[in-house]
Each structure stands twice: as C-alpha cells, then as structure tokens.
Amino acid sequence: MLSEQDNDIMCRVGPGTPMGNLMREFWIPALMSSELPVPDGPPLRLRLLGENLISFRDSKGQVGIFTHACPHRGASLFFGRNEEEGLRCVYHGWKFEVTGTCVDMPSEPAESNFKNKVRVRAYPARERGEVVWVYMGPRESDRLPPLPDIETNMSPPGVNSANKILRECNSVQALEGDIDTSHISFLHRNLQEDAFAATPDEFNKYVGGDSAPRYQVDETEYGTIYGAYRPAEEDSFYFRIGQFVLPFYTMPGTGKLGYGGRRGFRAWVPVDDDHTMFFTIGAPRNYNMFGNRQPAIRPPAGNDDGRFMPETTDFASGRWRLSANRDNDYMIDREAQKTVNYTGIGNIHLQDQAITESMGPVYLRQHEHLGTSDSMIIRTRRRLIKAAKAHRDEGIVPSVVDHPELYRVRSGGVVIPRNADWLQATADLRRVDREIEEALALQGAAT
C-alpha cells in the first residue's frame, strides 16, 4: 500500500513537482531522428513532462525544441515557417534559431533593438543512435550533463534503431510491468504445447515449470535490481535478472545474460501524468516490437505488425497510438482465449498495454495488496520517491546524472550454483564496458 501523498510524488511530473523536477535533471529521449526527416521540414508537436513543445530540424540539420507558444502573444509555433536556419512565427514574423535567440523581428522598426531582449524558451537537444535527446533542466549550456552510456544507443549508424508506442497511463504504472517477472507465467502464457519449440533456451526450460519464483532484490547506485530464481539442476538456480535505472529505464531479464546476449534499454518517458511514450532504444533494425513466441491471434486492424492509428493534432495522444486499443478492447478474441493463449489478446506488448491501461490513467495504490512477488516493485517505488524527496528537500542530484558509465549494465538469465552470492556471481556478466569501448572505438574510426 502506498499513501496518496507518496503516490502523487511518484506519478506527477509537471513543472514544479518533485518528480518532474528530478526528471528534468536527466537527458530525456524525446523523438526518433526519423520523425524529423529533413532540414526545413514541418515543425512537429511534442509533449514531455506535461509541457507542450514544438520540435523542428533547421536548414543545417540541427534540432530545435521550443515551448510551443511564441513569446510575443502566445501564438503556437506549430504553424511557423521553418526556413533559413530558424522557425518564424506566422503571426508577426518573429524568427528564432535553435538556441531560442530571436534573429529577426520584422514587425518592429529597423532601428529597434527589441529582438535582442526577447527569446523563446528553448531546450538543448542532441542526437545519437537515431534518438533525439532533450535536456529540460536548470543547468546552463556549458554545464550540461553527459548523455547516458546506453550501449546500443552508442552503436555505429545502421546497427540499431529506436521504436516507440504511446501508452495511455502513467509512466510508473507502465514500467512496473517490465520489472514484474512473475506475470509472464500468466499474462503471456500460451496454451499450445509447441508454442516455445522454436526457441528452446534456459528461459523456457526453467520458467515454464515454475510460476512462482523466489526473489532477491537490491538497490544500486543507478536504481534497483532483482534476481528471480527458480530451481535448475540439483545444485543450481536459474536467475532471471532485471534492472531499473533512474529515472524511467527498465531492462527486463530477456535473453541470456552476458557478452553477446540480448541488448537494449527500454524508456518509459512521461508525456504527462496520464500518458507515456514507450521507447525501445537499440533494438536491432529487424526487430519487430510486437513480435513474440506466440502464434498470431487476430492482427490489429488487418495488419500483422501492430499498425498505428492515423495521426491527430492532439499534443498528448495524437501520435503513436495503436490501432488495437482500449476503444476496441485491444481486439480481444474470446475464442482464442480458450485455446490459443491466456488473454485472447494478440501479442505480448498488447497484453501488457491492455492490463496497465485497464488500471486507469493513474492508479490509486492505497487500494492494492502486494505480495512477495512484488518485491522489485516495492523497492523501485521507494527508490523513486526517496530520490524525488532528496532532490526537493536537499537539492541532491542522483549520481547517475553525471556518471554516464553507470548505464553500462545489462540484464538476462543465467544458471549459477545454489550457494553462490547472486550479485557477486553475475557482476562481470552484467557489465558492458567491453561492448561500450568497442562502440566508441568504431565511432572514432568512423570520424
């Protein structure tokens, strides 16, 4: 059970809120680079941490991210002209370059210096690994924190990519499903005997026979970590290790732990209190975000890859909304629920989406009843609330903000001796310094 006050601290992210102020200390994944495909292209609406913003790519290819309102009289810069290295408001022609500086004010007399006194609120933006990152915090441009050392976001061009999907609920509510490993035995259960035949690995071997794992949970300098363990051979355990990294990243324990295993971060970026943009950062280019080990049931809207609804002009939910959504009950197939899979919903992502959105926009956690399988969720909530309060009350910025190397971690499954300390036994496997150094070396060679 979580008090209403702590639930608000954890879930509210607008300007001036404890969690919102904490998150603004970090670089935030804002867009995929492909969303701004060409210089001088149309401006794009963007909402992050409860703020309505405008993004654009200028004539030089630089990305600008502004508050959407022109500082003159509040007209939306969405209607602006993106031209000649700046965004020009169509109301009176005021023009701003990517740093927010006003470079032209044709509605004022030529001798006026008023344009030197006016700026649009602009946030620093950087591009790396097909992701546009934005910094919305208090630091000046010469003191910005480094981008996080997320392994696959640092790969050479063409190796990895980014994907995103809108989820219509609070970001903590959404990410909690990623650090809850016990639900996979139920929510994602397949009822067909040969469902896992194509992927015979340790996960299927050990998880399939035990739906109630035991847990070891701990805090780290960068977040929290769990080890959900099940009996393997007589003298060993199978550990499925997953991680949470501040402020909104998860690394569920999919694949094999260690060098050459499955890679990538997931980011549950708060659009506002009630909406989340779910990024996969660094999925292989041929990765299908909606794919899984299960046979398809009924593909959304006649598509087999989870197509999206047509775009609208809404800041919060106008883009990246799935065609299978709460308005059509995620296209649940009740007959398939009897014979194909546990839910009758077509794939793993939709199953997670349906359940977390069914809780409402912001779940009131004082009504829940938590068990031992919720250990990681309990510890992660405490970690988030503690960090937000420390930042609010003492100005403490988490060390991971200024130490990008703390993001050099990985999750996955591994078999270890039953008498081993699980954290010590997996320490080297969970570090990805070798891969990061290889990526940096390739970047250096390319330049």
> Higher model confidence: residue 158 or residue 270?
270
At residue 282, what are phi and psi to the nearest 5 degrees?
A: 95, 20
List, in order, residues 6 or more apart from 7 with CB less than 8 Å away: 362, 364, 365, 366
- Rounded to whole angstroms, the Cα distance separating 153 from 27 reads 13
In angstroms and rounded to an integer, the radius of gyration of the C-alpha atoms of the chain is: 23
Residue 196 has a pLDDT of 45
- Rounded to whole angstroms, the Cα distance separating 239 from 259 reads 16
Of 250, 365, 337, nearest to 9 by C-alpha is 365
Q: Is the pLDDT of residue 200 over 60?
A: no
pLDDT in tens, 134-188: 999 999 999 999 999 998 898 777 777 889 999 999 999 999 999 988 888 788 8
This prediction's pTM:
0.90
Q: Counting Cβ atoms within 10 Å, is residue 135 exposed (0-12), middle (13-18) or buried (19+)? A: buried
Token pair of 103, please? Answer: 């470079």
**pLDDT band of 294, cuts 50, 70, 90:** very low
Residue 271 has a pLDDT of 98
Q: Are 107 and 93 in contact (CB under 8 A)?
A: yes
Could you tell me whether strands 95-96 and 44-48 are parallel, antiparallel, or unpaired per DSSP bridges?
A: unpaired
- Count of residues in the chain: 447
C-alpha 292 chain-centroid distance: 19
Give me the percent of the chain exceeding a pLDDT of 70. 87
